[in-house]
A and B are shown apart, each in its own frame.
Chain A
């Protein structure tokens, strides 16, 4: 069982599209997969046509166990389940703060799911507070989508120094380029420079493509409504790199 967070401390970088498409591709290999939508905006939940509602809201989730389990919904795709988002997740930070073992609560919520699933993928909201620490403590690896812009790279640097500060093993954080506009010279140059200055940048990127935006219209993962598209191939390639470079140390590949 492997847990992977799709995380960024910057918004609009393609986290949800990545989480939705990678979990779909993971499930397609026959691995039992759970996508957890932790973002109160509930976009991943929307893409799967599920109502953004947790049993007893965020409190039910915090209780974990059967309560949390009952909120899980089967998606329209084999082997892929979804733990939907809920608007009350916006309070997750505040609630974690008030509890004992405040930085390990998310791990405790997810632990019971680990027996049933081969992969658990988290679609995370933008955060660098206690929720972020909960995420890092709960997962085996973190995957950060990175737009090849100065600000995005700067935020990534901030993330790495934050992790060092909280003594988190940055060897478990990986990045890949997202929303890449190949016509832009700056994007190309930044990609080369960033790959050189950081370890753990995957050699696979997701271009900026209309097909990906169309997920909102189709409410389906890209490989479902446009299996032969460049976008679909890009996610397949990314999943391949994730498996080889990140997950290969684990079982059930």
Chain B
């Protein structure tokens, strides 16, 4: 696709003059004026923007642009705007977005109005060799709506570069300047008070190494509370499954911070809130489990021989029914007085001044020291637990190691701003690989057990049940084989993580500070 050149045009009234002057070399064909609504989409967590992509709908086209120049990458015809990736028509656009969007819903960010007056410049054969359009984007249809962008846009036609070059020179000679960056996207969002990239679950805080540990911990916890609040408000809208997921992760991180950043608050307070957040986490356990199975429907079906893939439908029908009840339970839970009180108490605690306590022995410690000590200690427990598994692989121990890894990961993410970014990211990436292996193993264990248990509950007739059970059996068999493959890969994955090079880096980053401190 040829990328347009946009000129800043002082006023629309100059347009006729500029176009008219080209009449000496080209026949000019006026196209009908167009007024169109442009709707821009992204996921709640800005997945497209984070990849410098803009997805918009205009007429019956869905287009993908690349920022900052707004180059068109792909476009596809649609009959209605898709919400999920599986609703996209098969196309290159879908291929490119599949991994990026994942299971998130596309939400309309903003709607703007585009008005264009277009002209074709024709050569002696009557063939269009350059297209020119005055394009104006306003925030709404109203006449007095503020103009977000206005350009004279030159669209080259492939194979006729000389004509577009010649006209570009003429325009520049006449005093028009080329607009280098296209900020229509940003201005459009600004008009509705939206800031691209404003939501992310990534721990985005800057800690000062000399801060008191209790203060630093509250900074982390306040960040997590914000994520909890944002998602809690959206869960009820049922836009996609990931609000519940992000909500749960923020709760889990909060619990982990309370448990792992030791002795920074009075122990009674810590214990009380740990219990409270454990309760809040449990509220959505069943819903999340069901979401995971339902999202895996296609993957599961693909694992079955084609003759069985429809026989498993009663299972998913049943899970869907259960999900609807579990969802209502979560909504009720989030509206309950108990939940409101827990969060209110929590907010009050985070806002109140720090209190002295004999059980908060680390409270005054510079956070860099506490962070180094905790991370290194957790790293050692991971290595120790992993080495034991290498000697004797036991499913329960793999589970224990997974939990250790999760705690280590959270600690490293909470405190990452205190350490050299590149180095800590290398270690986080290495840890991720190990976590993926352990996570896959755990998921497969849990799934096998869940599927076998759920089979007993299925509300189907005897005849149907047999077929469904055969399908579930087939699926469990495949999952079992996959579990073994994952388990076999553990030794190498762990050895890579516990490599001397990584060990050196862990020591370099976390042990020197720790030695100066409390170790």
B residues within 8 A CB of A30? 61, 75-77, 91
CB-CB under 8 A from B158, the residues of chain A are: 72-74, 81
Partner of A252 from B75, B91, B120, B157 at Cβ < 8 Å: B91
A72 and B159 contacting across the interface, CB-CB below 8 Å: yes
Q: B349 within 8 Å of A by Cβ?
A: no
Taking the nearest CB of chain A, how far is it from the CB of B58, in angstroms?
12
In the complex, which range does the number of interface residues on chain A fall in? 10 to 19
Bound: A118/B2 CA distance, A: 17
Is A51's CB under 8 angstroms from B125's CB?
A: yes
A76's closest neighbor in chain B, by CB?
Answer: B128
B126 contacts partner chain A, Cβ-Cβ < 8 Å? yes
Do residues B159 and A219 form an inter-chain contact, with CB atoms below 8 A?
no
Q: What residues on B are CB-neighbors of A251 within 8 Å?
A: 90
- Shortest Cβ distance from residue B2 to the other chain A in the assembled complex, whole angstroms: 7
- Which residue of A49, A70, A81, A118 is within 8 Å of B127 (Cβ)? A49
A220 smallest CB distance to B (angstroms)? 10
**What's the least CB distance linking A5 to chain B, in Å?**
23
B186 within 8 A of A: no
- Kindly state whether residue B450 has any CB partner on chain A within 8 Å: no
A30 to B63, CA, bound (A): 11
B279 on the A face (CB < 8 A): no
Chain A hits for B120, CB < 8 A? 76
Report chain A residues within 8 Å CB of B77.
29-30
Using a CB-CB cutoff of 8 Å, which residues 138-183 of chain B contact chain A? Answer: 157-160
Contact call A48/B91, Cβ cutoff below 8 A:
no
B126 — which chain A residues lie within 8 A by C-beta? Answer: 49, 219
Given A71-B159, A252-B90, A252-B91, A76 and B127 contact (CB-CB distance below 8 Å): yes
Number of residues of chain B lying within 8 A (CB) of chain A: 17
A253 within 8 A of B: yes
User: A253 — nearest CB in chain B belongs to which residue?
Assistant: B90
Most buried by B among A30, A219, A251: A30
Q: How far is the CA of A48 from the CA of B160 in the complex (A)?
A: 14
B163 to chain A, nearest CB (A): 11
- The B-contacting residues of A in range 59-97, CB under 8 angstroms, are 70-74, 76, 81
In the assembled complex, A202 has its CB within 8 A of some CB on chain B: no
| A44→B158 CA distance, assembly (Å) | 17
Q: How far is the CA of A50 from the CA of B125 in the complex (A)?
A: 7
In chain B, what residue has the closest Cβ to A251?
B90
Q: What is the CA–CA distance of A30 and B61 in the complex, to the nearest angstrom?
A: 8
Give the complex CA separation of A118 and B92 in angstroms: 9
Considering the complex, give the chain A residue whose CB is closest to the CB of B1: A32
Chain A: CB-nearest residue to B94: A252
Contact between B159 and A49, CB atoms less than 8 A apart: no
User: Chain A: which residue is nearest B2 at the CB level?
Assistant: A74
> In the complex the two chains form, is A74's CB within 8 Å of B91's CB?
no
Residues in B55-77 with C-beta less than 8 Å from chain A? 61, 75-77
Q: CA separation between A70 and B158, bound complex, in Å?
A: 9
Residue of A51, A72, A76, A219 contacting most chain B CB atoms (<10 Å): A76
Most chain A CB inside 10 Å of its own CB: which residue of B2, B77, B158: B158
Interface string of B66-103 (1 = CB under 8 A from A): 00000000011100000000000011100000000000
Whether the pair B90, A73 counts as a contact (CB closer than 8 A) is no
For residue B128, which residues in chain A have a CB less than 8 angstroms away from its CB?
Answer: 76
Cβ contact within 8 Å between B127 and A50: yes
A74 touches which one: B61, B76, B125, B157 (CB < 8 A)? B157
Q: Is the CB of A49 within 8 A of B125?
A: yes
Contact B160 A74, beta carbon cutoff 8 Å: yes
Q: Which B residue sits closest to A73, measured CB to CB?
A: B159
Give the chain B neighbours of A72 by CB distance below 8 A. 158-159
How far apart are B54's CB and chain A's nearest CB, in angstroms? 18
- Complex Cα spacing A251 to B128, Å: 31
Closest to A30 in B: B77
**Is A74 within 8 A of B90, CB to CB?**
no
Task: Kindly state the separation between the CA atoms of A70 and B159 in the bound complex, as whole angstroms.
Answer: 7
C-alpha spacing A21/B90, complex, angstroms: 24
> Which A residues are CB-close (under 8 A) to B91?
30, 252
Which positions 101-129 of chain B face chain A at CB distance < 8 Å?
120, 125-128
In the assembly, what is the distance between CA of A30 and CA of B74, in Å? 10
Neighbouring B residues of A219 by C-beta, 8 Å: 126
CB distance from B93 to the nearest CB of A (A): 10
Residue contacts A-B, CB under 8 angstroms, 13 given = A29-B77, A30-B61, A50-B125, A51-B125, A70-B159, A71-B159, A72-B158, A73-B158, A74-B157, A76-B127, A219-B126, A251-B90, A252-B90
The 9 A-B residue pairs whose C-beta atoms are closest, nearest first, are: A73-B159, A74-B158, A30-B77, A49-B127, A74-B157, A49-B125, A76-B128, A30-B76, A49-B126
Write the residues of chain A forming the contact surface with B, with a CB cutoff of 8 angstroms: 29-30, 48-51, 70-74, 76, 81, 118, 219, 251-253
Not counting A72-B158, A73-B160, A252-B90, a sample of 17 additional A-B residue pairs whose C-beta atoms are within 8 angstroms of each other reads A30-B61, A30-B77, A30-B91, A49-B125, A49-B126, A49-B127, A50-B125, A50-B159, A51-B125, A73-B158, A73-B159, A76-B120, A76-B127, A76-B128, A118-B92, A219-B126, A252-B92
